Amino acid sequence: MSKEPDAPPASDAGDSAFAEVAFDESTLVDIGTPIGARENFPIIVHCHLRWDFVWQRPQQIFSRLAQQHRVLFIEDPVIADGEPRLELTEPYPNVVRLVPQIPQPLAVNADRDAEIFYPLIRRALDEHPLLAGRFEQPLQWFYSPMPAPGYLGRFGGPGIVYDCMDELANFRFAPPDIADRERFVLSRAHVVFTGGYQLFEAKSRHHGNVHFYGCGVDVEHYSKARADDTQVPDAVAALPGPVFGYFGVIDERLDYELIAALAERFPDASVVMAGPFAKIDPDELPRHGNIHWLGQQRYEDLPALVKGFDVCLMPFALNEATRYINPTKTLEYMAGGKPVVSTPIADVVRNVTPIVQVAHSPKEFIEAVERAWRAPDVELIARGIERAAGSSWDATVASMRRNIQEAVWADAPLRAAATA
């Protein structure tokens, strides 16, 4: 017989405006008595990022957890004609992607979305061939706090995870109530993960069981940048060198004046910016002849892209959107055996200097790029390769999984633990 679970970790988040919205603690049942449940629990993920967008933290984590757990990856709704409906696919083994489709007139807010789609999701869990019988008593895992008041606890299950990979309230176009919704999640989560140390310090003030897991890296994948048989893509191989390169999302976190200054200082070099545009107007980007905007790249092609870079760039602006970031690309560049130059992002300064050359002004940034190009420091590059080799996503995910088991099924002491 199931017993009532232990209370979620203590929190000083307080009662939010959503304290009574669609949440029933009696649905959080303890399924931990059978060993199989503790080891093979299904997971329902609520994520603001698209599975087929840039391959980053959620994809790295759940492509690994899917080896032992069934994963339902629920994305934010997209606008589509017709009646509200669900698009269900299996983009990765044991990962089912669910994209709600909603007509524009019904797209009011996250709570209305949940009111519309929860019954459809509940029916799909019972009837759809990709889901039926596979998601009984799932763990719920939130990346965005926005859908939490409408969904948290409604699928039953043993507990709640909040993985705070960014301070979303600081991003451009953030919903005005996102901070209230995060307090709601923090007050009910059994365990909280953060993607940066600055985030760890901030969230530890509001929750008793917070763990810092910064960037991991797929070492085997990115080490292909050092392999003789890896072919640099034509879009980069044909460019005049040196090549100063970046891959990642092109958004409000980048310093476009700095990128333009670098291109102007080295007119015979090529500045490669590879990644999808988000929340910016591409027409407003610098259009120097030697800046090449390549658009989104396939994850499997990134090591070959890095091989074509003489210097890897992290030209982040210093603003509210970058205050808490811990860029995934740092270790990926390092695993590729390349020199890296960054602006002074707090987590970069704390975690990876002097392997990454940190510049505190545009002049210093340009000078650091030139030094890294003309006289790459082979000792720092070797240290970067070694550091990346010890920071695998496999080890990170295994440790996160243990934290979940301890928080949900075991009488583990509550603590804030900087474990990475």
- Indicate whether 174 pLDDT > 80: no
For the chain, the average pLDDT equals: 88
- Indicate whether 42 pLDDT > 60: yes
Q: Look up residue 263 and give its DSSP letter.
A: H
Question: Among 43-47, 115-119, 138-142, 344-348, which stretch is predicted with the lowest mean pLDDT?
Answer: 344-348
Torsion of CA 75, 79, 82, 86, to 10 degrees: 0
Encoded amino acid at 12, one letter: D
How far is it, in rounded angstroms, from Cα 272 to Cα 276? 13
Which residues of 25-159 form beta strands (DSSP E)?
Answer: 43-47, 71-75, 78-79, 85-92, 95-102, 139-142
How far is it, in rounded angstroms, from Cα 19 to Cα 274? 42
Higher pLDDT, 14 or 407: 407
Q: Look up residue 238 and give its DSSP letter.
A: T
- Indicate whether 258 pLDDT > 70: yes
As a whole number, mean pLDDT of residues 135-147 equals 94
How far is it, in rounded angstroms, from Cα 314 to Cα 306? 13
How far is it, in rounded angstroms, from Cα 155 to Cα 109? 21
- Indicate whether 1 pLDDT > 80: no
- Indicate whether 12 pLDDT > 50: no
Whole-number pLDDT of residue 323: 85
As a whole number, mean pLDDT of residues 285-304 equals 96
